[in-house]
Amino acid sequence: MDLSLMNEEQKRAIRTTEGPLLIMAGAGSGKTRVLTHRVAYLMEEKDVPARNILAITFTNKAAREMRDRVAALIRDGAADIWVSTFHAMCVRILRSNINYLGYENSFSILDPTDQRSVVKDILKRRNLDVKQHNPRSIIGFISDKKNTLIRPKQSAEEAEGYLDTLYSEIYHDYQQILYRNSALDFDDLIMLTIELFEKEKKVLERYQNLFQYIHVDEYQDTNHAQYQLVRMLAEKYRNICVVGDSDQSIYKFRGADITNILNFEDDYPEAAVIKLEQNYRSSRNILDAANAVIGNNTERKPKALRTDRDGGPKLTSIVSDSERGEGQEVVRNVLDLSSKYSYDDMAVLYRTNAQSRAIEDALVKSNIPYKMVGGMKFYDRMEIKDLMSYLKVIQNPNDDISFERIINVPKRGIGPKTVDKLKEHGRHTGASIYEAIGESDFIGISKNAVVKLMNLNDMLDNLKQKSKYMSVTELVDEVLADTGYLDLLEKENSLESRSRIENLEEFRTVTREFDKENEVSDELLFTFLSDMALVSDQDGVEEDSGVTLMTMHASKGLEFKVIFIVGLEEGIFPSRRVMFDDKELEEERRLMYVALTRAEDMLFLSRADSRMIYGKTESNKRSRFLSEIPEELVLGGQEDSPQPIASGSFQMNRRGPKKRSRVITNNSGTSFTVGDKVEHRKFGEGIISGIKGEGDSQELDIIFTTVGVKRLLANFAPLTKKE
What pLDDT was estimated at residue 535?
Answer: 65
Q: Who contacts 543 (Cβ-Cβ below 8 Å, separation ≥6)?
A: 371
Catalytic residue from among 248, 278, 418, 597: 248
Residues 690/645, Cβ–Cβ less than 8 Å:
no
Cα–Cα separations (whole angstroms), residue 335 to 63, 344, 345: 35, 13, 13
What pLDDT was estimated at residue 355?
Answer: 85
pTM of the predicted protein model? 0.74
What pLDDT was estimated at residue 650?
Answer: 29
340 is catalytic: no
248 is catalytic: yes
What pLDDT was estimated at residue 655?
Answer: 33
Ranges in the chain, pLDDT < 70: 374-379, 495, 535-544, 613-616, 636-662, 694-697, 716, 723
What pLDDT was estimated at residue 643?
Answer: 36
548 is catalytic: no
C-beta atoms surrounding 673 within 10 Å = 13
What pLDDT was estimated at residue 709?
Answer: 72
DSSP string, 336-357: HHTTTS-GGGEEEEESSGGGHH
Catalytic residue from among 9, 10, 31, 622: 31
Residues 87/186, Cβ–Cβ less than 8 Å:
yes
C-beta atoms surrounding 352 within 10 Å = 15
What pLDDT was estimated at residue 648?
Answer: 30
Binding site: which residues?
Answer: 25-32
| Exposure letters 303-340 (e unless 16+ CB within 10 A, then b) | bebebebeebebbebbbbeebbbbbbbbbebbeebeee
527 is catalytic: no
Q: Who contacts 685 (Cβ-Cβ below 8 Å, separation ≥6)?
A: 677, 678, 679, 704, 705, 722
Sign of the C-alpha dihedral computed for residues 457, 462, 465 and 467 taken in this order: negative
The CA distance from 340 to 343, in Å, is 10
Catalytic residue from among 16, 17, 32, 651: 32
The CA distance from 476 to 570, in Å, is 50
Q: Which residues pair with 617 in a beta bridge?
A: 612
C-beta atoms surrounding 516 within 10 Å = 9
490 is catalytic: no
673 is catalytic: no
| CA atoms lying within 13 Å on the CB side of residue 109 | 24
Catalytic residue from among 111, 114, 185, 217: 217
Binding site for ATP: which residues?
Answer: 25-32
Q: Who contacts 536 (Cβ-Cβ below 8 Å, separation ≥6)?
A: 58, 59, 60, 61, 85
Catalytic residue from among 114, 187, 218, 701: 218
